[in-house]
Amino acid sequence: MTATHSPTAAASGANATERFKSDKFAGVEGTPPERVSLLAREVLEAVHATIRKHKVTYEEYNALKSWLISVGEDGEWPLFLDVWVEHVVEDVATEHRQGNKGTIEGPYYVPDAPEQGARGSIPTRDNEPGTALTWTGQVTSTTGAALGGAKVELWHADADGLYSQFAPDIPEWNLRGTFTTDDEGRFEIHTVRPAPYQIPTDGACGKLIAAAGWHAWRPAHLHVKVSAPGHELLTAQLYFPGDEHNDDDIASAVKPELLLAPQPSGDGETIEYNFVLDPA
Ligand code: MBD
Ligand code: FE
């Protein structure tokens, strides 16, 4: 991070908003009106019930209005939704699975990160700060079959807690890479340990956190998407034991199955973590 280009909520929010708009927006046209009506009505009823229960005042209502406007102005709808809502959607979407537990995607995934083969380093800067991390693993199916040619897309924050393409002055694909498993479904990834992540404090989400007296932290985490033909896409995050925010992640996205067990090795650490995918 440099003094002249500090990350700002509005800049990272604008990038996240742009990415979602351009590559994901499908609209509600495919959803039947009965379903839209049911869901919209029940969400509104929950709001009405909260207003009645707590006798919400005009002052509070107007504060909410102006805050909602600022969420959009700061480009923080992706951040807001992924931090406070996505974890429940993810739970519901994956509750049938027999294979790996997953967790939320969050706002900072970018598709088509550079391909690195089955064994290699994620793109880094020269002298990328942070403890070296060597990760070995295997991708298999719940049927027991090894999944050769599976994709392991990895993205994570740097040792300052910043993501490339969302914070300034970081090379485009820094700490973002796609690995493809060998015939036995195995991979070996060289990267660095990410830092805990603090969501921007200078935007609308930060304002809510400060006004409510919450904290803004996520524990350090590695994001992955693991995919193979004929199998459900797995979106997950992996966490490091002992992080003080594993138990109170602002995004409620930690699960015990997603904790790593790093072993010291040379100047760095090694981890082993395997994935089991459900047939689609
Ligand atoms: C992140 O890095 C993240 O993973 C989530 C879920 C929300 C905000 C920032
Ligand atoms: Fe993240």
Query: In sequence order, what DSSP letters do the residues of 197-216 get, joined into one string?
Result: EE--SSSHHHHHHHHHT---
Q: List the helix and strand counts (H, then E) for the chain.
A: 6, 12
Question: Does the structure show a pLDDT above 90 at 15?
Answer: no
> Residue 25 corresponds to which tokens in the numbers above?
């927006």
Atom of ligand 1 nearest to the CA of 163: 2
Beta strands of the chain (E only): which ranges?
119-121, 132-141, 151-156, 176-180, 186-192, 197-198, 217-218, 221-227, 234-239, 263-265, 268-272, 275-277
Predicted pLDDT at 12? 76
Is the reported ipTM for this assembly greater than 0.95? yes
Closest ligand to 206 CA?
A: 1
Residues 66-81, mean pLDDT to the nearest whole number: 96
Give the CATH H-level superfamily of domain 1-280: Aromatic compound dioxygenase (2.60.130.10)
pLDDT for residue 4:
44
Structure tokens at 207: 């304002």
Cβ atoms within 10 A of the Cβ of 210, count? 12
Asked if 229 and 279 count as a contact pair (C-beta separation under 8 A), the reply is: no
Pocket of ligand 1 (CB under 6 A): 79, 82-83, 104, 106-108, 197, 199, 218, 251, 253
Q: Are 14 and 204 in contact (CB under 8 A)?
A: no
Is this model's pTM higher than 0.90 or not?
yes
Instruction: Compute the distance from residue 107 Cα to the ligand 1 centre, in Å.
Output: 6
Give me the chain's average pLDDT, please: 94
Tokens at 148, concatenated = 């050769």
Atom from ligand 1 closest to the CA of residue 86: 6
Which residue's alpha carbon is at the smallest distance from atom 6 of ligand 1?
Answer: 106
Predicted confidence band at 20 (pLDDT cuts at 50, 70, 90)? confident
- Structure confidence at residue 26 as a pLDDT band (50, 70, 90): low
